[in-house]
Chain A
Amino acid sequence: MGRREQARQEAAFHRGEVGVDGRATEERRDAAELERSKAREQFLRGKAWLGREFLTWLLWRTESGEPLLEHEGAPLSVLFTGRLTLRGIAGEVTEVAVKGTDAPYSALVRQAVCRGMLIHQARLLLTHGEKVFEATLDAEFLDVRGARLPELMTEEQDDQLQERLWLAEQLSALLSALFVEFLKIRTGRGWRRTVVPQIKEWIEEEPPTARRVA
């Protein structure tokens, strides 16, 4: 055995990767197990489950199309639109992505939620009074991505900058208001007794679009 190879084996022994017999100390984990462990880590990182439960609750609450709350005197309605990503930590599938205007409310998404997957990223259309915003949200940070702001009313460049800043803040405030509303419900007594069973019932129902196709 060359000196380099010997040094490499000694280093591996000191790192605890191999025993005195030179064999690996741990059985190599298979790919599926590794994938599940990664999914679990993502679920735990920064309490990502909280944002995922929020987006999943929001999907359920928005199906009726009714305003969810009043913010600064104007009603706020939300609609999921376009691409949606779900992630889970149990079972064979750890991520599902669906695409299509009505995809978020499809039977496929309900089935995924029914199997323990939660929404990780979604494109939302928020209507606040007469203003319409569109943005992609992720569950972990609630960052705003690729958002479209309502049309600007001002013409001067300085005024336009201030208006865009104001609209971006409005969007941020709307998202915070929705999340605080969710937190109030989630920390209330009715969350596991009433709300979660209602969500479970909803995901087990056949969505109206699926019934139409059938």
Chain B
Amino acid sequence: MPMLCALMPILRGAVTFSRFRAEPVGRVPRDSNQWLARGLKLRAFTPIDRKGDVDRSAGFVELEAQDSVEFSPGSFMQGEHLVVSWRVDQLKVSSAQVRAELEAWKTAFELDKGRPPGRVERAEARLAVRQELRNAATPSSRTVDVSWNLKTSSVELWTVSRKLVDEIADAFGKAFDTRLIPQTPPAMAEAIGIPDSSLKPTPELSWVEEQEADDGQA
């Protein structure tokens, strides 16, 4: 059972989020609930395969049942909002632990064979030790809440970690064939039609050289 780090910040406590606007690329179907469920299932969370060599897995889960990827409309629709979580599981094998186990194996090998292990034997043992530790490791798990107001197109990703924000925005776009436009200063300026040439730094405020500001550089 993975260790869950944070429980639904969307429900309680201080609020931290990055802001977006959703712009569907194609036409939104009439039965939007079915379309949303299909999108969520397309990018649903799948647990890490212990036999495989991938150590990280991420995808959408239901907000209040973070092992569930059923996505019945009642589980993700709250009034006019779609509300789900993005779950990330990570398996970590400590290299110090691998080293210690390998050292113990090397001692046992020398006692048994009367010689130090060769390069190939060491490499094979390293792989075996790592796999064994990986099988025994408990994955760490964290979730980030995602809310989308389907009426106003406002989207909040309840994290400010850029790595996670980029990952969720990418998955969101692919799941719903939608462009997520960040509500950052340059993106908002672009959205209201302000050309780049009007956005140069103000030299009197930031002490940028006049010529550099004119070039749009600092």
Contacts and interface: CB of A to CB of B under 8 A. Distances in A.
Contact of B186 (A47, A147, A160, A169): A47
Interface string B11-53: 1001111110000000000000000000000000000000000
A88 B188 contact: no
Interface stretch (A1-9, A76-84, A97-105, A192-200): A192-200
B149 A169 contact: yes
B160 A145 contact: yes
B4 interface: no
B56 interface: no
B218 A168 contact: no
Contact of B188 (A52, A165, A176): A176
Contacts of A56: 205
Interface in B1-17: 10-11, 14-17
Contacts of B117: none
Contacts, number: 140
Given A148-B14, A164-B11, A168-B17, A196 B202 contact: yes
B218 A40 contact: yes
Interface string A128-162: 00000001000111111111110000000110111
Interface string B141-160: 00000010100101010001
A200 B17 contact: no
Contacts of B204: 192, 196-197, 200
A49 B156 CA distance: 24
Given A142-B183, A158-B78, A187-B194, A147 B14 contact: yes
Given A141-B184, A162-B78, A164-B11, A43 B206 contact: yes
A145 B194 contact: no
Given A148-B14, A172-B154, A183 B206 contact: no
Contacts of A172: 17, 19, 154, 156, 183
Nearest to A196: B204
A90 B185 CA distance: 23
Interface residues of A, number: 57
Contacts of B189: 50, 183
Interface of B: 10-11, 14-19, 78-79, 81, 83, 147, 149, 152, 154, 156, 160, 182-186, 188-189, 192, 194, 198-199, 201-202, 204-208, 217-218
22 contacts: A46-B184, A49-B202, A49-B206, A49-B208, A51-B185, A53-B201, A53-B206, A88-B207, A89-B206, A89-B208, A113-B205, A116-B205, A118-B205, A142-B185, A143-B160, A164-B11, A165-B147, A169-B154, A180-B188, A183-B189, A187-B194, A187-B198
Interface of A: 40, 43-44, 46-47, 49-54, 56, 88-91, 113, 115-116, 118, 135, 139-149, 157-158, 160-162, 164-165, 168-169, 171-173, 175-176, 179-180, 183, 186-187, 191-192, 196-197, 199-200
